[in-house]
């Protein structure tokens, strides 16, 4: 079938769009203009826009079928996609048509567009990276599918009660999801538990995976890729018919509900592993469904298994999908009857692994007992992979027991556990870190022994962000000015062109307009005085990210207002945004302390017009897109050597915020590119932090030596900012795991320099323009190009 011809083209004039909207309202939504609610109008608008992308999708799929290309499959337990409507309007060229048509039919476009709900299927940076890479893969016309889980409940909604974080469920599909295409016919069967008999694995529980997909359009091209999300359904066979007939209907249904729990909720932990069995079930559910789907797709145009790694590369986004390695072995050996050596060779040519952390507590491990009970055949396969790995280690490094112990897939003490990162390194052909410094630290610390064994396996791919969402959509005013300054919109597909803005930093009238866009964005955020510096720290709460250092700065500023107003500096609004994992007590204490400090500052007339602390609840992509354009100062103040990359730092620099930061993650590369003169560097670097941490670090000595630090900590300890503040102080004066006190003075002094530069607005604006001009490297298009060159080796296919 030639899909290029058979379809009626959808109209691109206002009248045609309005007609399509009306017809969808009648025939698909089943209502009329007179009785339609705003929700009806929203769902209908979404369908009307989606239809335009679906036509492109059909052409893309036809081109892919014809070409039989090499595919990039991205496996990720998380996708933080962000709101879909505005993006799809832009990508389908209907940004202006839609509000006009809504108005013509009597709806308020603002009211309708506000109903778009963000699918929060991720925690933070890792899930957002997955979404940015999919955007860039489509924009670069690469045949790609993202695989993930369609959680019923996404990342929790954060609320504050008495300043404390409370979590509310995020029932994001409560009203349905108009962007989604269910594909129930493509369901897959997934087994759990059971035993390994002479005929192979006999699962004790069967669950169905039902896919649906969202469209992932490319920008400025016809390509529309998909992200396919699996939802667990009770397999019909799992209804126990005997119990039905024995009158135990409700009990039998209970079993079905249990099966569906697998995709019920996203685990809200960021940076610590969550060793719960349901989480392991989710991981296996994702990889089992996805691999079978990948094989199904391979078979459309191929029959020879030796072609599998030629036509397929599967990227593992962190260790969450690592069970794909033993699962593909099982499918090839047990079901396809390939011999072990051939299967292992195919597997190791197919997978690649992205590591996202340096925190030891974030490296996933699973108890051998639990894994063996849930997936008995997979544990056998892991044991055999391990035996062969350790043979290779012994052959390469004779008599080196410590290497054998470090490289083993099994940790022996204090409990036998499977090390997922070791499995991921062993079963893949490439392993990448996500920023230069991170990749270096991976090969010199976390994976040093693997790097000695397989030096060519390790590489770096520095993260990036999509300029479409985080500049063009988030900041239309600045985008228009950039386009005018560069003379075209080409920068949206080639972000390196931003360097052309550098000469304009010396143009006083361009600077004035740049400044006015910033002020405009600040007014739109509605935080009062747009003349005050907007100083933002927006990211998940974690002690290594050091929101506690920022709050010490705020307390110091507040105390200067009381006792040394001459040293205060310049008017600032300090904005925090971010969630803490619900079980992460220390991070929740920091949140509560920030809210207490905000209240104290607000209640004191001395702060008026000078200092404000705001903490909007429920930081997510929707909120990020509002805050980032308005930010003047970007806080990237993690302990050096802990933040793998960061991507918030990139979004903010691209929007002209100046960074105050440590030499950590991608901060290093941002500073190199925007210029050391345009970056506020402070604090210990990674080697210095490591050596202080491994020596005899005494946080109290910093407390005793620094009057301002002592005053700030005393206020916390004395309960001026509540019991949570006392806990924060106690932790800092106790172990201070992340060297907050060691970096305090350097940070405060650098903040004073920030204030001094702010007083010279011409200079600040110049630096701001140079930050945008220097940040073109941080496009996720460049990230995808690097993956293509270093790992994926796939070529574009244009519909
Ligand atoms: C970009 C982004 C992040 C990642 O922020 P970092 O500062 O890199 O940790 C987290 N959450 C959301 C909603 C984001 O948009």
CA 541/CA 659 separation, integer angstroms: 19
Interatomic CA distance for residues 325 and 287, integer angstroms: 9
| Extended beta strands in 47-156, E state | 71-75, 79-80, 120-121, 144-149
Condensed to tens digits (0 to 9), the pLDDT of residues 446-488 reads 999 999 999 999 999 999 999 999 999 999 999 999 999 999 9
Residues 482-537: tens digit of each pLDDT:
999 999 999 999 999 999 999 999 999 999 999 999 999 999 999 878 899 999 99
Mean pLDDT score, 81-104? 96
- Do 182 and 226 meet the contact criterion of CB atoms below 8 Å apart? no
pLDDT at 5 over 70: no
Nearest in space to 549 (alpha carbons), one of 304, 737, 799: 737
Q: Of 313-322, 357-366, 462-471, 673-682, which range is least confident?
A: 357-366
* C-alpha to C-alpha distance for 594 and 744, rounded to whole angstroms: 17
The DSSP secondary-structure symbol of 799 reads: -
How many percent of the chain have pLDDT more than 70?
A: 97
Atom 3 of ligand 1, residue of closest alpha carbon: 125
Residue 684 clears pLDDT 60, i.e. is over it: yes
Closest CA to 351 of 425, 241, 420: 425
Q: Atom 5 of ligand 1 has which residue's CA nearest to it?
A: 648
Cite the residue boundaries of each domain of the chain with CATH code 3.40.50.2000. Answer: 506-774
Segments in 140-272 forming alpha helices (H): 241-245, 249-260
Closest CA to 591 of 748, 727, 768: 727
Q: Which residue has the tokens 């949206």?
A: 492
Euclidean distance between CA atoms 541 and 547, whole angstroms: 7
What was the pLDDT predicted at 275?
Answer: 73
User: Is the bond leading into 299 cis (omega within 30 degrees of zero)?
Assistant: no
Residue-wise DSSP of 606-675: GGTTTEEEE--SS--HHHHHHHGGG-SEEEE-PPTTT-S--SHHHHHHHTTPEEEE-S-TTHHHHHHHH-
Region 334-348 average pLDDT: 97
356 part of the active site:
yes
pLDDT digits (tens, 9 = 90+) for 772-786: 999 999 999 999 999
Kindly give, in sequence order, each residue whose CB lies less than 8 Å from that of residue 32, ignoring residues fewer than 6 positions away. Answer: 25, 26
Cα–Cα distance, 527 to 630 (Å, whole number):
10
Over residues 421-443, mean pLDDT: 98
Instruction: Report how far ligand 1's centroid is from the alpha carbon of 648 (Å).
Output: 5
Query: To test ligand 1's pocket by mutation, which of 79, 120, 124 has the most ligand atoms within 8 angstroms of CB?
Result: 124
Task: Tell whether ligand 1 has an atom less than 6 A from the beta carbon of residue 659.
Answer: no
Answer yes or no: CATH 3.40.50.2000 is held by domain 506-774.
yes
CA-based angle 564:568:569, to the nearest 5?
150
Residue 2 has pLDDT above 60, yes or no: no
> How would residue 274 be classed by pLDDT, with cut points 50, 70 and 90?
confident
Going from the C-alpha of 57 to that of each of 64, 267, 317, 397, the distances in angstroms are 10, 32, 25, 52
User: According to the model, what pLDDT value does residue 3 have?
Assistant: 47
Residues 6+ apart with CB under 8 A from 436: 460, 462, 668, 669
Strands of 218-320, DSSP E: 224-234, 312-317
Q: Which residues touch 164 (CB under 8 Å, ≥6 apart)?
A: 588, 591, 592, 595, 724
Q: What is the C-alpha to C-alpha distance for residues 647 and 438, in angstroms, rounded to an integer?
A: 13
- Summary mean pLDDT of the chain: 95
Q: What is the pTM of this model?
A: 0.97
Q: Which of 356, 378, 542, 592 is catalytic?
A: 356
Q: Determine which one of 540, 572, 579, 592 is catalytic.
A: 540
**pLDDT tens figures, 698-729:** 999 999 999 999 999 999 999 999 999 999 99
At residue 254, the pLDDT reads 80
* Stretch 40-60: mean pLDDT: 96
Other Cβ atoms less than 10 A from the Cβ of 541: the count is 26
The answer to whether the CB of 646 is under 6 A from ligand 1 is yes
Rg (CA), the chain: 27
Any ligand 1 atom below 6 A from CB of 539: yes
């Amino acid at each position: 079938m030639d899909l290029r011809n058979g379809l009626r083209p959808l109209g691109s004039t206002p009248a045609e769009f309005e007609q399509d909207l009306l017809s969808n309202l009648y025939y698909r939504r089943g209502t009329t203009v007179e009785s339609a609610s705003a929700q009806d109008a929203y769902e209908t608008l979404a369908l009307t826009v989606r239809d335009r992308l679906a036509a492109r999708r059909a052409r893309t799929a036809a081109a892919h079928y014809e070409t039989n290309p090499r595919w990039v499959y991205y496996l990720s337990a998380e996708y933080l996609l962000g709101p879909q409507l505005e993006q799809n309007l832009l990508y389908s060229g209907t940004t202006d048509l839609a509000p006009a048509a809504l108005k013509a039919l009597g709806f308020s476009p603002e009211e309708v567009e506000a109903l778009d709900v963000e699918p929060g299927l991720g925690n933070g940076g890792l899930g957002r990276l997955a979404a940015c890479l999919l955007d860039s893969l489509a924009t670069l016309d690469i045949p790609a599918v993202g695989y993930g889980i369609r959680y019923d409940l996404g990342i929790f909604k954060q609320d504050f009660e008495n300043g404390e974080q409370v979590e509310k469920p995020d029932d994001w599909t409560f009203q349905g999801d108009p962007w989604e295409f269910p594909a129930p016919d493509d369901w897959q069967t997934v087994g759990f538990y059971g035993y390994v008999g002479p005929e192979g694995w006999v699962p004790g529980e069967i669950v169905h995976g039902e896919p649906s997909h969202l469209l992932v359009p490319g920008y400025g091209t016809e390509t529309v890729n998909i992200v396919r999300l699996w939802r667990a359904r009770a397999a019909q066979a799992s209804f126990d018919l005997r119990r039905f007939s024995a009158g135990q209907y409700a009990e039998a249904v209970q079993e079905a509900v249990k099966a569906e729990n697998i995709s019920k909720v996203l685990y809200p932990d960021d940076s610590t592993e969550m060793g719960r069995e349901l989480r392991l079930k989710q991981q296996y559910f994702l990889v089992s469904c996805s691999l079978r789907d990948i094989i199904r797709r391979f078979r459309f145009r191929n029959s020879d298994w030796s072609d599998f790694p030629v036509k397929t590369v599967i990227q593992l986004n962190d260790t969450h999908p690592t069970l794909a390695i033993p699962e593909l072995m099982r499918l090839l050996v047990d079901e396809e009857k390939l011999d072990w050596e051939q299967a292992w060779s195919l597997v190791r040519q197919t997978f690649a692994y992205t590591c996202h952390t340096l925190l030891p507590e974030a490296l996933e491990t699973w108890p051998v007992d639990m894994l063996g009970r849930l997936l008995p055949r997979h544990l056998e396969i892991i044991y055999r992979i391990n035996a062969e790995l350790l043979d290779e280690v012994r052959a390469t490094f004779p008599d080196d027991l410590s290497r054998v112990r470090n490289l083993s897939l099994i940790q022996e003490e204090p409990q036998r556990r499977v090390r997922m990162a070791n499995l991921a390194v062993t079963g893949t052909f490439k392993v990448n870190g996500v920023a230069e410094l991170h990749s270096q630290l991976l090969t010199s610390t976390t994976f040093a022994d693997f790097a000695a064994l397989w030096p060519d396996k390790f590489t770096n791919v520095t993260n990036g962000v999509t300029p479409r969402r985080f500049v063009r959509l988030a900041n239309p005013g600045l985008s228009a000015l950039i386009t005018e300054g560069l003379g075209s919109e080409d920068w949206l597909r080639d972000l390196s062109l931003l360097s052309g803005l550098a000469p304009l930093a010396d143009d006083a009238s361009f600077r004035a307009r740049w400044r006015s866009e910033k002020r405009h964005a600040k007014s739109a955020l509605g935080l009062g005085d747009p003349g005050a510096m907007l100083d933002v720290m927006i990211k998940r709460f974690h002690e290594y990210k050091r929101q506690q250092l920022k709050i010490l700065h705020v307390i110091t500023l507040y105390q200067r207002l009381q006792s040394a107003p001459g040293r205060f500096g310049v008017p600032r609004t300090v904005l925090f945004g971010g969630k803490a994992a619900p079980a992460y007590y220390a991070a929740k204490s920091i949140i509560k302390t920030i809210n207490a400090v905000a209240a104290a500052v607000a209640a004191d007339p001395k702060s008026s017009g000078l200092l404000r602390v705001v903490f909007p609840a429920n930081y997510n992509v929707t909120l990020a897109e509002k805050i980032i354009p308005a930010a003047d100062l970007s806080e990237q103040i993690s302990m050096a050597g802990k933040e793998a990359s960061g991507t918030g730092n990139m979004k903010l620099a691209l929007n002209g915020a100046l960074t105050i930061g440590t030499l950590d993650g991608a901060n290093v590369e941002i500073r190199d590119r925007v210029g050391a003169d345009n970056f506020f560097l402070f604090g210990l670097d990674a080697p210095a932090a490591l050596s202080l941490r491994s020596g005899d670090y005494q946080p109290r000595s910093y407390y005793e030596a620094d009057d301002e630090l002592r005053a700030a900590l005393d206020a916390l300890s004395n309960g001026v900012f509540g019991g949570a503040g006392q806990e924060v102080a106690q932790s800092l004066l106790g172990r201070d795991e992340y060297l907050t006190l060691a970096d305090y003075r350097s940070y405060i002094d650098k903040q004073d320099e920030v204030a001094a530069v702010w007083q010279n607005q011409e200079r600040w604006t110049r630096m701001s323009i140079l930050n945008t001009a220097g940040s073109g490297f941080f496009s996720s298009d460049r990230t995808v190009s690097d993956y293509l060159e270093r790992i994926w080796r796939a070529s574009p296919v244009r519909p």
